[in-house]
Amino acid sequence: MKIHKTADYETMGRKAADIVAAQITLKPDSVLGLATGSTPLGLYARLVERHKAGELDFARVRTVNLDEYEGLAAAHPQSYRFYMEQNLFSKTGICPGNTHLPDGLAADPAAECARYDAVIRGFGGIDLQLLGIGHDGHIGFNEPGGHFENDTHVAVLTPETIDANKRFFTSAAEVPRRAYTMGIRPIMLAGRVLVVVSGVDKADIVRRAFSGPVTPAVPASILQMHRDVTLVGDEAALGKLL
Ligand code: PGA
């Protein structure tokens, strides 16, 4: 595993953007696995800047996002489709047809999971998968106690995840209880994995994920078995890594 420790959130975003930009430059039709949440916002802002400066061409980039809340329409301000449109897609000239997320309003969840797996398989897998880590060790919405071999499935959010995500909603009651998530399998099959972490509140889970035992109780711990992981984090988040 490669580790880049940065002074703060700002430089974490810049370093992570360097890595994603290099991926796109070297392979302009890269399949990027993308993540939402607070942590990647700086990285996305830097990528948008580079695109606007004429340094980075997204025309052939293809994307598959990790997850989407069940029951939220694409236009819902808390849907992950909305987040991606706001923070990256609409600002980088990426071809809308090249961007993929699960459909939160799909009538048949099992069929939607199968459709999403077929999208990923159709791409021949993911070149670079971006990940944040939840305080409970989740990646995507692969919550503790799940199976490493899972493909796309509907996850029941843990109370901890609902609590962490309620900041984006008017109350915890409004946070959807279920979400579509890419499974661990396609993440582990990705050519490269880029993990971004920031803040002292992530220090314990970063230590458990990367210095502790590999266990479904800490889903991110499986990344210790991936052949090409880069961890980019600020000093606060990496402070307890052994
Ligand atoms: P965060 O979320 O970036 O908002 O901390 C990470 C996650 O839950 O995967």
Hey, what domains does the chain have and what are their CATH numbers? Answer: 2-238 (3.40.50.1360)
Sheet holding 67-69, edge to edge: 67-69, 178-181, 153-156
Rounded CA-CA distance 85/66 in Å is 15
CB atoms within 10 A of CB 52: 12
Question: Catalytic site residue 100?
Answer: no
pLDDT of res. 19: 98
142 φ, ψ to 5°?
A: -80, 100
Q: Which of the following is catalytic: 67, 68, 103, 234?
A: 67
Indicate yes or no: pTM above 0.75.
Answer: yes
Residue 219 near residue 138, CB atoms below 8 Å: yes
Ligand 1: which residues within 6 Å by Cβ? 37-39, 132-134, 138
pLDDT of res. 242: 83
Rounded CA-CA distance 146/152 in Å is 12
Ligand 1 pocket: which of 9, 38, 135 to mutate (most atoms <8 Å of CB)? 38
Q: Which of the following is catalytic: 4, 51, 100, 138?
A: 138
Sheet holding 2-6, edge to edge: 2-6, 229-234, 192-197, 128-131, 31-34, 62-65, 99-100
Residue 113 near residue 179, CB atoms below 8 Å: no
- In tens digits, what is the pLDDT along the chain, a chain of 242 residues? 999 999 999 999 999 999 999 999 999 999 999 999 999 999 999 999 999 999 999 999 999 999 999 999 999 999 999 999 999 999 999 999 999 999 999 999 999 999 999 999 999 999 999 999 999 999 999 999 999 999 999 999 999 899 999 999 999 999 999 999 999 999 999 999 999 999 999 999 999 999 999 999 999 999 999 999 999 999 999 999 98
Question: Catalytic site residue 136?
Answer: yes
Question: Catalytic site residue 201?
Answer: no
